[in-house]
Chains A and B, each alone.
Chain A
Amino acid sequence: MARYVIRRFIFAVPMLLLISLVLFTILAAAPGDPAGQLPLTIPAEIREAYRDALGLNDPFFFRWAKWVRAMFWYEPQHAIESIGNFCIGDCIQSGDRIVSFSSRSPAVDTIYERLPQTIWVLGLSLLFGILIAIPIGIYSAYKQYSAFDNVGAFVSIIGWSMPVYWTGLILIFIFSVRLGWFPSFYDTTHDVSLTSWSSIWFQFKQLAMPVTVLTFFNAAQISRFTRASVLDNLNLDYVRTARSKGLREFLVVNRHVVRNSMIPVVTLIALSAAGIFSGAILTETVFRINGTGQLLITAIGQADTPMVQTLTFFFAVMTVFFNIVADILYGLLDPRIRYD
């Protein structure tokens, strides 16, 4: 198993390099140009010098290699240096790192600032989605075609079909505009201190709507998947054996069936953990949360190529990482699967 894990992570590196090359090619082919936003009074040669300074006139592969060096070498080194508060050889200067065109600060630092908001919303909604969906999925499989199952199926297909940006707007209308219960935007400056109830309450209020919207969406997906997986297991021989040896029904379902049917569900959850970063873009736009998704939208609008490149690469790393995690979990949970 350890060998498999190591091999997967080693093979992920060329994959990520390839992905970064694809992203870089698309961004380089795009006609957006940060010098285009300068005032028209600036003469052509200064414009050219500006482009030179940003490194836009370098050959394509040179620019890509520079980005790769910064991403895979300088950024990790800088991270180690700032955690340990020392320098490895010469310290990494911020000029060596990936610098955003528009803010002139290192792109990774900005992403790091934006991450907590995204993780708060995404993490909580995934957690609640799992907690709600798995019992519902199990029960509706156990009572297949019952009223509970049919209602569950209907609600989850609705949850699947309604885009988060619409449910979000409707919630804002009802609970912010009409009732005034929750704020319609997310206040990042709010520090949660665990000693003050009003601070926790405020954090709860501003998280309530975005988390609800995403939870509904996640729960719709996970409950259907759980149901299908439990159904597959319910009619297998080992279930009959467990019943025929006189085991209580509760234990048959919860000890035997559920444990076996959770294997693909866990994998799906790991996979969707990466996928919901895309959903975050929309949720963050609707609820005005300044997380990574909103950062991407602003960066695209400003033709901030290094930022877009780094951020999309970050999303790709998440996808690849959670794919590997899903495969590893699969191997850990299911003794029939041996990777070596």
Chain B
Amino acid sequence: MTEAADENPKADDEEPSTAGADAATTDLLEPSEEGDGTATAEAGAIPDELGVHRTLRADVWRQFRRHKGAVFGLILLTIITLSVMVGLFIYPNDPFALNVVDANQGASWDYPAGTDNLGRDTISRAMYGGRVSLSVGFAAMFFGLVIGVTVGVLAGFIRWLDAPLMRVTDLFLSLPLLPLLLVVVIFFREPMTERFGESMGIWLLVVLVIGATSWMQTARVVRGDVLAVKEEEFVLAAQSVGTGTRRIILRHVLPNVMSSIIVSAALGVATAILTESAISFLGLGFPADFPTWGRLLSDGRNYMQINIWRTIVPGGLISLVVLSVNFIGDGLRDALDPRLRSKG
């Protein structure tokens, strides 16, 4: 496969930060580990002509704020996440309370988006489902990211691992992933539920499977970045003072490929949420009494003529979350690009 074929032409802009930004980028990576945030910020500060202290993190944030879509996405995602997490404590209707008398109702004051065929409230079920969908999205993204970054760094930094790891990546890219995901999820659900329990087993299975099939793009991008960073002088300097490979990778290489990792993380959340809802929508993911947005959408579509909100609410939430995550990813890409940032 040609490199240029699957890379956005824009991706050429995403060069890793230069050696000068090395120290400052490290701060971005480890804000909490170094204890006091302000102390780190001062240590990594680069004074500019005006004598005002500018940190990388502040620069990135300022550039990010300028991207209207990204700010909108961040606000929207925060609102949805918060309402999913604490909404059920405030909202009066129980997501699991059966109430056959009120079954299949349209929107009303008691049920702002109506009820399902068993009289359960649409909104509270969407809130509960959001917990599952969002947690799957973030966990699967994280898992995929760990694999992708590990493969990418190893392939980029250790020469004899490069060819075999990249062939494995190519193999994964040629596999029909969605069909395979479906096969694995449906065939392995029983052993997993037996071992980890009904809900936890499926949750783990879905997270592992999505993570294990979504790391390839990250691996390729990170490998490309690592190959470039490896040739920089500061890596040579680190090697010449006898720094070990592990330390070079963790302290010098990783911070410099951080921007592409962050961008793939944002995109990864979107993909993971979409994939999970697709699996659930096909009725092959979580069981019916374990609502996720995809599952709610799939259940709701047969009652479209009775209560359209059962379709609009979960599907709309999936779209809004994915939309905001895509916007955030877009904003982060711009904000982390040193060339764009210096213009501002």
Contacts and interface: CB of A to CB of B under 8 A. Distances in A.
Interface of A: 15, 18-19, 22-23, 26-27, 29-32, 154, 157-158, 160-163, 165-166, 169-170, 172-173, 177, 225, 228-229, 231-232, 264, 267-268, 271, 277-278, 281-282, 285-286, 296-297, 300-301, 303, 308, 311-312, 315-316, 318-320, 323, 326-327, 330
Contact of A30 (B4, B183, B284): B183
Interface string B126-169: 00000000000000000000000000000000000000000000
A139 to B, nearest CB: 17
Given A169-B311, A231-B10, 13 more contacts: A19-B174, A23-B180, A162-B322, A162-B323, A163-B274, A166-B319, A169-B301, A264-B5, A285-B281, A300-B284, A316-B175, A323-B1, A323-B174
A315 B315 contact: no
A26 B6 contact: no
27 contacts: A15-B171, A19-B171, A26-B187, A157-B323, A157-B330, A158-B323, A161-B270, A161-B319, A163-B319, A172-B304, A228-B10, A231-B10, A232-B10, A264-B5, A268-B5, A281-B178, A281-B179, A281-B182, A300-B182, A300-B183, A312-B176, A312-B183, A318-B176, A319-B173, A320-B174, A323-B174, A327-B5
A14 to B, nearest CB: 11
Nearest to A184: B304
Interface of B: 1-2, 4-6, 8-10, 12, 69, 171, 173-180, 182-184, 186-188, 190-191, 270, 274, 277-278, 281-282, 284, 297, 301, 304-305, 308, 311-312, 315-316, 318-319, 322-323, 326-327, 330
A161 B69 CA distance: 14
A26 B281 contact: no
B interface, over-half SS = helix
Contacts of A162: 319, 322-323
Contacts of B6: 268, 271
Given A157-B330, A169-B311, A225-B8, A18 B171 contact: yes
A322 B282 CA distance: 26
Nearest to B330: A157
Contacts of A27: 183, 187
A228 B173 CA distance: 24
B327 A157 contact: yes
Contact of B305 (A18, A177, A228): A177
Nearest to B301: A169
B2 A330 contact: yes
Contact of A15 (B174, B177, B327): B174
A315 B330 CA distance: 31
A315 B178 CA distance: 10
Interface centre among A172, A268, A303 (most CB of B within 10 A): A268
Contacts of B187: 26-27, 29-32, 303
Contacts of A23: 175, 180
